[in-house]
Amino acid sequence: MGLLSVLWRVHSSGLDDIKIVRQALDNLTGEGLESKEDVGRSWHGSPQVEFERRTRKKAKSRESLARMGAKTLRELMDEDVSLRIDENNVFHLRLGLADLCCGIVKITDPRRRLPCVKGEFKIEVYPGQDVLEVAKNVLQRAYDQAQRNNWDYSAISTE
Q: What percent of the chain has pLDDT over 90?
A: 69
Question: How does pLDDT run across 79-135, given as a tens digit for each residue?
Answer: 999 999 999 999 999 999 999 999 899 999 878 888 999 999 999 999 999 999 999
Question: 6 forms bridges with which residues in the sheet?
Answer: 55, 121
SS3 category, 99: helix
- Expressed as residue numbers, the domain containing 116 is 3-148
- The CATH number covering residue 117 comes to 3.30.1440.10
The predicted model scores a pTM of 0.88
Residue 114 maps to a domain: yes
Domain count within the chain: 1
Residue 119 maps to a domain: yes
Residue 101 maps to a domain: yes
What is the Cα–Cα distance from 156 to 159, expressed in whole angstroms? 9
Question: 90 forms bridges with which residues in the sheet?
Answer: 122
Residue 24 maps to a domain: yes
> Confidence class of residue 156 from pLDDT cuts 50, 70 and 90?
very low
